[in-house]
Chain A
């Protein structure tokens, strides 16, 4: 900007020429200049005032908005404690009635900071007094080792032990808060729950991680901080589980069985109400996995889910169901049962000779291997494979257990005509008790597929129709007749009509072939037989009934009485009213 001179020469000369006082011009210009300066200053001041007032406005608006927001929000409890990377929080696990199966308990871990210790040697020996498994001299050596500053001594302490450690009075012994996983029911449902152990450890907290069972399978759900307050609801019923365990344990001891397992399932929802596998273990103190011997003998082995065995005659129900469903036979069709049935160099025999022919119902009731083989022969391998696949027998079970996904059935390499016949009576293909329970549930629930689940279900969509309602009704009656007239006579219990099928499979020997005196006895049952609501599979490993003159190993003498006792005990617990056999028979006659 060009500054205007106070006395522009042109104007002065002009003024002088016209006789005016040139000082006026100077004063005039001075005035203009001052006015301009004043306007500028005012503008600047006004701008500053505006900016300042806007700033204040903004500040007040922000404060006001914040206050309004605080007043409007509902009072919320702020998160307590320190949010650390390592958190021991883990949701509880409860049974279907809300009884606690697994919970977290606050406890303390013991560690030592050696630099703060006053008398490490004495402290080490005092510790050895409190904990018998601590070697005092070795601990003293560790305490006095100049390279060590920090030593974990115990991961959990009981309150009494903590007090005892306090009483040592050693400032270098410190306690770190810990969450501990507690299974208050001890061995109950051990195989379902699995177990937990510590993951990453910090001084203030330690992670709890599931190592098996539901704890491992639902790891993310249980550790999710948003859902830590809501317990995981299982389908198990603790009182039923306790009753089943008690009866099964008694049966296992009486029959000298190596192992036993029971699966109780709701046939409509697929909820597993009880799952027991013996021998079991205490999940509070989970034993290490076995390093030698047969893995199936370890208590950690879940026989119901991981135990894939040839289960024998219980599979006949599926052969008969397929025959009925495909319209190849009716319950009254006569089947040629003259034996032995030879196929190549293979002979199929029956437990005893049942005469020249039997009706399809009697094939089931008397459990004729030849009969089922003859029913399946015309149906063939492809159809059989496809039929069993629909039931889920050819794949691992979709149960919410980490073990279930890893266990797979053994299937024949080549599904030959001979395989068709042997599989029809349960040999040549392995099945787990859980898969069997799910299969029987489908047989009697109207033919709908169910997905076995360990979680409590509120509403279940009916699954795909696998066999027709008519076949399902016929199977119900046949299973009922097996108990009333056939191999499972011990399952006639007053009040609870039971339907089922026995199976006694010779166990495969260690060097191929089958063993003569080692039997896997299975009873797959449904109750009440006229309108089944529950399926129960009981399998005993090498049971022997020695009450008679000669040892009896068949399922009818071993698995059936145990199952009967279980049903007698759990029927009322499941809310079933007893009905007389006449009522059940009347229902069957109405249906046909």
Chain B
């Protein structure tokens, strides 16, 4: 009985040791991953900042003004002034949707064959 207990304990210790060993390695691996991720995050953040700076640089007012002047022929952009504001009354109401005109003939689209109904039905409708 006692030797069985000893055996159990020894096995438990071995199992725990193996588990701890595994955990240790997993932790180290996770830390390596974390370091790699941090490096990547730092790099991405740096890139974002460069992009932001570049975006601000490309959108600087001087350059936008030059672009507007260059492309005046196509875009015709002018500085906004008071004259560009409108009254709500100046907005045109949407016109009523044009009603389809009713003509005598029934206008249909598609294959003619499918429309050829049985003869008696045609007579009934007449």
Interface residues in chain A, defined as those with a beta carbon under 8 Å from any beta carbon in chain B? 77-78, 80-81, 99-100, 103-106, 182, 184-188, 238-239, 241-243, 245-246, 493-496, 568-569, 571-573, 577-578
Contact = CB atoms under 8 A, between A and B. Distances in A.
A238 B61 contact: yes
B85 interface: yes
B118 interface: no
Given A103-B56, A182-B53, A246-B65, A569 B81 contact: yes
B41 interface: yes
Contacts of B57: 182, 184
B20 to A, nearest CB: 12
B56 A571 contact: no
Contacts of B84: 572
Contact of B56 (A77, A99, A187, A242): A99
24 contacts: A80-B42, A100-B52, A103-B53, A103-B56, A104-B49, A105-B50, A106-B46, A182-B57, A184-B53, A184-B56, A185-B61, A185-B62, A188-B60, A188-B62, A238-B61, A243-B79, A246-B65, A493-B82, A495-B85, A496-B82, A568-B81, A571-B81, A571-B82, A572-B82
A160 B25 CA distance: 43
Nearest to A94: B56
Mostly helix, strand, loop or mixed at chain A's interface?
mixed
A80 B38 contact: yes
B80 A568 contact: no
A494 B82 contact: yes
B83 interface: yes
B60 A184 contact: yes
A187 B61 CA distance: 10
Contacts of A493: 82
Interface string B40-69: 011000100110110111011110010000
A80 B55 CA distance: 26
A100 B53 contact: yes
A187 B34 CA distance: 42
A43 to B, nearest CB: 26
Contacts of B34: 78
Contacts of B53: 100, 103, 105, 182, 184
B50 A188 contact: no
A317 B29 CA distance: 75
Contacts of B60: 184-186, 188
A229 to B, nearest CB: 10
B41 A188 contact: no
A246 B61 CA distance: 10
B49 A105 contact: yes
Contacts, number: 76
A578 B52 contact: no
Contacts of B52: 100, 103
Mostly helix, strand, loop or mixed at chain B's interface?
helix
Interface residues of B, number: 25
A77 B46 CA distance: 16
A176 to B, nearest CB: 16
* Ranked 5 nearest A-B pairs via Cβ: A495-B82, A242-B61, A578-B82, A184-B56, A100-B56
Nearest to A100: B56
Nearest to A578: B82
A344 B39 CA distance: 80
B101 to A, nearest CB: 44
A99 B52 CA distance: 10
Contacts of B62: 185-188, 242
B42 to A, nearest CB: 5
A103 B34 CA distance: 28
A429 B31 CA distance: 69
A408 B119 CA distance: 106
B1 to A, nearest CB: 23
A530 to B, nearest CB: 15
A188 B82 CA distance: 25
B85 A577 contact: yes
B90 to A, nearest CB: 13
B38 A78 contact: yes
Contact of B80 (A99, A246, A572): A572
A188 B83 CA distance: 27
B81 A80 contact: no
Nearest to A573: B80
Contacts of A100: 52-53, 55-56
Contacts of A81: 42
Contacts of A186: 60, 62
Nearest to B50: A105
Contact of A572 (B41, B65, B85): B85
A494 B81 CA distance: 10
A103 B82 contact: no
B38 A572 contact: no
A496 B82 CA distance: 8
A56 to B, nearest CB: 14
Given A184-B56, A185-B62, A573-B80, 20 more contacts: A77-B38, A77-B41, A78-B34, A100-B53, A100-B55, A103-B52, A103-B53, A106-B50, A185-B56, A186-B60, A188-B62, A243-B79, A246-B65, A493-B82, A494-B82, A495-B83, A496-B82, A569-B81, A571-B82, A572-B84
